[in-house]
Amino acid sequence: MIKTDISKLRRFLEKKLDQKRFEHTLGVTYTAAALAMCHSGDTKRAQIAGLLHDCAKCIDNDKKIAICEKHNIEINEIERKNPFLLHAKVGSYIAMHKYKVNDDDIVRAILNHTTGRPNMSQLEKIIYIADYIEPGRTQAPRLTAIRQEAFRDLDKALLIILEDMLVYLDSLGGDIDPMTRKTYEFYKNYDQNNNKEFNQ
Ligand code: FE
Ligand code: FE
């Protein structure tokens, strides 16, 4: 049983995030709770991870780098060039040390919410997907199909998101964290092995 008080956590985060990010955070939180309900997951863990997933998003880039350096959190080449990516690593650190979250699955869900990773836990998938489909999101292609799929099959929803994410990142022409591609390859093979069909 996790003792974290959800409404207290929400009030804390309201102070730490700008309004837009806080609205997004609430969207991710209740979307994650709904996905957990749908897939027989733990709604409390989903809400805590949802509330905290972007807890480091509004910290200045310089400060994010300083936090990493101070606490020996590794910064890869791509993160060095795009420090906003560090909000996942810094966020998981803050969740553990400031918000005293000692549930590994929640910490990992925060840590992996930007790139995903092969073989994610159900909670990690839920946060990754909720981040993409929460009601405040309007830009992504195939959003309607992905939203429906998320409430049927998390792995399929994940694969469509990763596919679209790679197309989008490619179109920007910048660096792509290799983990995003690794995650995509993993779920593509997983899907083939399971003979799952897409109905988009
Ligand atoms: Fe984020
Ligand atoms: Fe987010």
* 40 in Cβ contact with 1 (< 8 Å): no
* 64 in Cβ contact with 27 (< 8 Å): no
Q: How many domains does the chain have?
A: 1
Q: Which helix (H) or strand (E) holds 117?
A: none
Assigned domain for 165 exists: no
Cα 77 to ligand 1 centroid, rounded to whole Å: 19
70 contacts: CB under 8 Å, gap ≥ 6 = none
Assigned domain for 187 exists: no
Express the helix, strand and coil content of the chain in percent, nearest 5 each: 65, 0, 35
Assigned domain for 186 exists: no
**Start-to-end C-alpha separation, the chain:** 38
Assigned domain for 97 exists: yes
Sequential pLDDT tens for the chain (200 residues): 567 899 999 999 999 999 999 999 999 999 999 999 999 999 999 999 999 999 999 999 999 999 999 999 999 988 999 999 999 999 999 999 999 999 999 999 999 999 999 999 999 999 999 999 999 999 999 999 999 999 999 999 999 999 999 999 999 988 888 999 999 999 999 777 775 554 43
pLDDT of residue 197: 53
Assigned domain for 11 exists: yes
Assigned domain for 46 exists: yes
Angle at 33 between CA 168 and CA 108, to 5 degrees: 65
Cα 38 to ligand 2 centroid, rounded to whole Å: 21
Assigned domain for 117 exists: yes
Nearest alpha-carbon partner for 47 in 10, 14, 87, 96:
10
Indicate the pTM of the whole model: 0.94
Cα 189 to ligand 2 centroid, rounded to whole Å: 27
Query: Assign residue 119 a region: left if phi > 0, alpha if psi is -120 to 50, beta otherwise?
Result: left
Residue type, 13: L
- The residue segments making up the domain with residue 33 are 6-140
Assigned domain for 195 exists: no
User: What's the CATH code of the domain at 58?
Assistant: 1.10.3210.10
Cα 194 to ligand 1 centroid, rounded to whole Å: 30
Cα 195 to ligand 2 centroid, rounded to whole Å: 31
In the chain, where do the E strands start and end?
A: none
User: Helix (H, G, I), strand (E, B), or coil: what is residue 18?
Assistant: coil
pLDDT of residue 196: 54
Residues lining ion ligand 2 (Cβ < 5 A) are 54, 131
CA atoms within 13 A on the CB side of 70: 9
